[in-house]
């Protein structure tokens, strides 16, 4: 999943693809570099980012979704707002990527049920301005799993079918540093729920800290793509359904390495590279 941030302020690529034409060109480059689908977002989720008015989010996202769909791309929309999700789906998006797992907008679950669209439910504890204060866990893997199960129960109660759902541990969201590694190391716990799993580690802060120089200065976002690709390989080897990345070439190669590695171990077809990414319903139990 290649990231197309139509924002002036995302932490890793803020402002670079802010016009419709530059965002579309970037999306097409991600596809050429090996991405299977494009995640278009108009609201930055970097720590402490302010909320974007809904009209602004719509005017950023919709023209880009329309044009990428017209180019034949499989498009997801990265939004926590049901009204944005609805209009993006009307414009041809096949997947709604909601970093709040339905918590931010009480209308979201009903919209997902009504449209039948594929839906990423990510682990989340609050908007970007407050999320760092929520980085407190007894056992981060067990707590994230329990909170995702609550999201699932609410989605089901609203009529969302399991086949629509993809789960995401929400790396970096209410997880400033050390909390991310147990989640990556125990992706199997999330996988055991039986849903496809999406992993979004790309260029995140915990990688900057991991790659810090001798004086402790974190590596800048654009120097985190090698580490991102390494995580893509590990996630794919663990059977993840997709990785969400800013730079597609390295991760596409990493995923192919993992697929060959899994095949040599006698692993199944599930996981990244499985062809259902182009189906309208991508989620659900396996």
Q: Which residues bind ligand PMM (CB under 6 A)?
A: 3, 5, 10-12, 41, 44-46, 78, 97, 99, 120, 122, 168, 170-171, 198, 200, 244
From 66, 204, 205, 224, the catalytic residue: 204
Q: How far is CA 143 from CA 138, 140, 183, in A?
A: 7, 5, 10
From 66, 224, 244, 262, the catalytic residue: 244
Residue 16 vs 267, nearer CB to ligand PMM: 16
Q: How far is CA 187 from CA 190, 266, 283, in A?
A: 5, 19, 17
**CB of residue 166 to ligand PMM, shortest distance in Å:** 8
**CB of residue 104 to ligand PMM, shortest distance in Å:** 13
Distance separating alpha carbons of residues 100 and 264, to the nearest angstrom: 37
For 177, counting Cβ atoms within 10 Å of its Cβ (0-12 exposed, 13-18 middle, 19+ buried), the class is: middle
Residue 16 vs 263, nearer CB to ligand PMM: 16
Residue 267 vs 284, nearer CB to ligand PMM: 284
44 touches 5 (CB < 8 A): yes
**CB of residue 61 to ligand PMM, shortest distance in Å:** 13
Q: Is 204 known to be catalytic?
A: yes
Residue among 76, 131, 126 at smallest CA distance from 101: 126
**CB of residue 7 to ligand PMM, shortest distance in Å:** 8
DSSP 217: P
Residue 170 vs 283, nearer CB to ligand PMM: 170
Tell me the three-class secondary structure of 11-47, residue by residue.
CCCCCCCCCHHHHHHHHHHHHHCCCCCEEEECCCCCC
Q: Is 175 known to be catalytic?
A: no
- Closest residue to ligand PMM using C-beta atoms: 200
Could you list the active site residues? 204, 244
């Amino acid at each position: 999943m290649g990231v197309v941030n139509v924002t002036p302020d995302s932490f890793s690529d803020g402002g670079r693809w802010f016009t419709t034409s530059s965002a579309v060109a970037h999306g097409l480059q991600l596809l050429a570099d090996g991405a299977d689908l494009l995640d278009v977002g108009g609201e930055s989720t970097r720590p402490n980012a302010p909320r974007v008015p809904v009209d602004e989010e719509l005017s950023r996202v919709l023209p880009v979704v329309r044009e990428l769909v017209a180019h034949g791309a499989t498009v997801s929309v990265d939004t926590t707002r049901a009204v944005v999700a609805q209009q993006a789906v009307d414009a041809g998006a096949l997947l709604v990527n909601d970093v709040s797992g339905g918590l931010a907008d009480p209308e979201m679950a009903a919209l997902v049920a009504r449209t039948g669209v594929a839906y990423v439910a990510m682990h989340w504890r609050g908007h970007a301005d407050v999320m760092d204060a929520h980085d407190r866990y007894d056992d981060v893997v067990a707590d994230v799993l329990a909170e995702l199960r609550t999201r699932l129960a609410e989605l089901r109660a609203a009529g969302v079918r399991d086949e629509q759902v993809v789960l995401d541990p929400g790396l970096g969201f209410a997880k400033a540093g050390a909390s991310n590694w147990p989640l990556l190391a125990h992706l199997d716990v999330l996988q055991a729920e039986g849903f496809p799993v999406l992993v979004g580690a790309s260029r995140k802060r915990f990688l900057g800290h991991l790659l810090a120089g001798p004086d402790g200065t974190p590596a800048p976002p654009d120097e985190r793509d090698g580490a991102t690709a390494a995580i893509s390989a590990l996630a794919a080897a663990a059977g993840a359904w997709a990785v969400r990345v800013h730079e597609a070439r390295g991760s596409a190669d990493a995923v192919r390495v993992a697929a060959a590695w899994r095949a040599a171990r006698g692993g199944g077809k599930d996981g990244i590279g499985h062809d259902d990414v182009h189906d309208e319903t991508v989620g659900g139990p396996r």
